Amino acid sequence: MNEVLSLIDERLFAVWFLAGAALVFWMQAGFAMVECGFARAKNAGNIIMKNLMDFCIGTVTFILIGFGLFLGENMLNGFMGRPNFDIFTSYSNFDWAGFVFNLVFCATTATIVSGAMAERTRFISYCVYSAVISAVIYPIEAHWTWGGGWLAQIGFHDFAGSNCIHMVGGICALVGAWMLGPRIG
């Protein structure tokens, strides 16, 4: 009986995670609309494509590199997780709901940058910037708090992503905007 209740709890938790992931995923559409509203109409297609590519590129890089850096076994005194390929090697025991939940947060972090750099980047340059955020920057810094890294070990808690998502996305956006300079006109 306890095994059945445990399985039910595990599945309810997964459904809860996936419902939250769906809501966060829809933030991508909201970001695209906000960014289009702050840019010239001729750039709307480019902005929407960048938001789509944040998720597409982010998914591939997060699967291949980022997820292991984020939730892998601590290395370098909790600076980052040990890269692994559990998603491929431990397919049946893999926490798919947790992966999707963390994937949409990774993509959201990369999407925050899009608005700050709107109308001033080439498409391919932005895609490279997004890939670096999804593969390395977000996973390493999120590991510090949510992956059991050095900040978690000293008692730091990040509730609702204020540090792991918003601060890091904001800093990456600030660096990108500084590198590009002001918009013309």
d(CA 121, CA 94): 37
Count Cα neighbours of 64 within 13 Å in the Cβ-side half-sphere.
Answer: 10
DSSP structural state of residue 120? S
For 36-90, what is each residue's pLDDT tens digit? Answer: 888 888 888 888 888 888 889 999 999 999 988 998 888 888 888 888 887 888 7
pLDDT score recorded for residue 138 = 92
pLDDT score recorded for residue 134 = 92
Compute CA 167 distance to the chain's CA centroid, rounded to the nearest angstrom: 12
- Give just the sign of the alpha carbon dihedral 36, 42, 43, 45: positive
Task: Give Cβ neighbours of residue 62 (< 8 Å, ≥ 6 apart).
Answer: 102, 103, 106, 107, 134, 135, 139
For 136-166, what is each residue's pLDDT tens digit? Answer: 999 999 999 988 889 889 998 887 778 888 8
Structure tokens at 180: 């590009």
d(CA 148, CA 14): 21
Q: Residue by residue, what is the 3-state secondary structure of 56-98?
A: HHHHHHHHHHHHHHHHCCEECCCCEECCCCHHHHCHHHCCHHH
pTM of the model: 0.85
**Number of helical (H) and strand (E) elements in the chain, helices listed first:** 9, 2
Q: How many CB atoms lie within 10 A of CB 104?
A: 22
Report the length, in residues, of the chain. Answer: 185
| CATH number among 1.10.3430.10, 3.20.20.140, 3.40.50.150, 1.10.150.130, domain 2-180 | 1.10.3430.10
